[in-house]
Amino acid sequence: MALGDEDLGGKGETPVSAVPVAGAPGGGQLQWGGRFGAGPDAVMQAINVSIGFDRKLWRQDIEGSRAHASMLGSQGIIAAADAQAIDAGLADIAAEIEAGKFEFADALEDIHTNIEVRLTQMLGDAARRLHTGRSRNDQVATDFRLWVRGALDGVLAQVKDLMLALAKRAAQHAESVMPGFTHLQTAQPVTFGHHLLAYVEMFSRDCGRLSDARARLNECPLGAAALAGTSFPIDRHMTAAALGFDKPTANSLDSVSDRDFALEYLSALSILAMHMSRFAEEIIIWCSSPYQLIALSDAFTTGSSIMPQKRNPDAAELTRAKTGRIFGALLGLLTVMKGLPMAYAKDMQEDKEPVFDATDAIFLCLAATAGMVRDMTVSVTRMQALAGSGFSTATDLADWLVRVLNMPFRDAHHVTGRIVALAEAKNLDLPGVSLADMQEIEPRITDQIFGVLTVEASVASRTSFGGTAPANVAAAAKKWLEILT
């Protein structure tokens, strides 16, 4: 049986009013106007209005409303003709917004009311039946989940594109030797491909976190109403399926008050941004004059207003800086949510802007980072020259003493340290120290030692699983390319 508009409640649990609002298109109404005798003060309207940012949710709001109307008609809660008219009207509104012909009104506060008022202008009473069995509390929770789910899918696609760019470069440079660092001091030689694949591993964990967040998000709050559910015989499983959710949320209070999905999304973005910031820092170092390991083209650098020779890696620097905005979004939303009792509170209006801003920032940083990976020119010769600096094959010398002379590693470490000190005193690199000088420190050393002191020999020897040996790197790059293409 078709029911009337008994459950046309507005924001929270208060009813829709017929009080006209100045400035609303077609004499629109404030959802909570019937509770008050006059319109809001200008300051109250300014702090309360959200249409300036939540208009981003228009697609999701229309999608959710169409699913809700279809369910209401299927359940006989509203007439089938009304459900069909609502669906057609919402499709027309979507077309208006797409074409830029929709008039958004601040007086109508948010995207939900803007769309509902326009639908009422078009359909009259049929439109007023749409809000049966729901509240703006579950409506906005559903819209926001749909938006974040779409953003997650977009971020995942871009992360995989960045991983692909890195894996391709790693395959090209599986044998290109570079200095490996700890404490930003030369430690042991590695290959450039191995270094790039370290970030592929990092970003793969980001994909896992994003995918996990999406899986936990994918429950539908629609039909939880204001906080307690509804007395109408709605089918929440039907609307959940129509909107691509795995199932409806299980508790009506939790449904409208939960923003864990947004917090988890921002947390995953923060770790992802941190990884990109670390890579950006390395790009900045590699591009600097003392290193000159890579160069970026004009596409990802800028010049100086006074120094004509400068080429500044600004894309990397801004990627590093935007990480702060993303961290701030997470901390801001955590702070908003930390003291809220059940169920909905208007504080939650502050949940969307940080998510929108962080999403814009992460998309830009991902595009810039992938672009820099594809753009960079790698100086293999310079990398190889620096790879042997700082006595980077000292560990190989110690390992030789252990392997060939059966020396305990701690003793080998001590002997190697003395040889390094001798080389430093004579301003030599390790391969430049004579056999006689080494034998003064450890008489059993033979000329075989020189076979392990080159950077090429060093990286070739690192064949343990996950090591930097070129064969390992080539195999790992191939594996990732097969996964990502």
DSSP per-residue string spanning 422-479: HHHHTT--GGGS-HHHHHHH-TT--GGGGGSSSHHHHHHH--STT---HHHHHHHHHH
Cβ contact 192:178 at 8 Å: yes
Dihedral, CA of residue 296, residue 299, residue 305 and residue 309, to nearest 10: 40
Active-site entry in 183, 289, 305, 464: 183
Handedness of CA 118, 120, 126, 131 (dihedral sign): positive
Q: In what helix (H) or strand (E) does residue 295 lie, and over which residues does it extend?
A: strand 294-295
Which residues, including other chains, have CB under 8 Å from residue 79's CB and lie 6 or more apart? 2, 73
Annotation says 183 is catalytic:
yes
Round to whole Å and give the CA distance between 460 and 138.
Answer: 60
CA distance 359 to 342: 27
Rounded Cα gap, residues 74 and 90, in angstroms: 18
Both tokens of 197, joined, read 């694949």
Cα separation, 328 vs 122, in Å, equals 42
Our answer to whether residue 195 is catalytic in this structure is no
Evaluate whether 34 touches 16 at the Cβ level (below 8 Å). Answer: yes
Q: 478 is written with which tokens? A: 């191939």
Are 192 and 473 within 8 A, CB to CB? no
Catalytic residue among 211, 231, 288, 304: 304
How many degrees, rounded to 5, is the angle at CA 363 between CA 357 and CA 366?
135
Strands 377-378 and 185-191: unpaired
Element (H, E) at 298: none
Q: Tokens for 184, please give them.
A: 């930003």
The secondary structure of the chain in percent helix, strand, coil, rounded to multiples of 5, reads 65, 5, 30
Residues recognised as catalytic: 183, 304
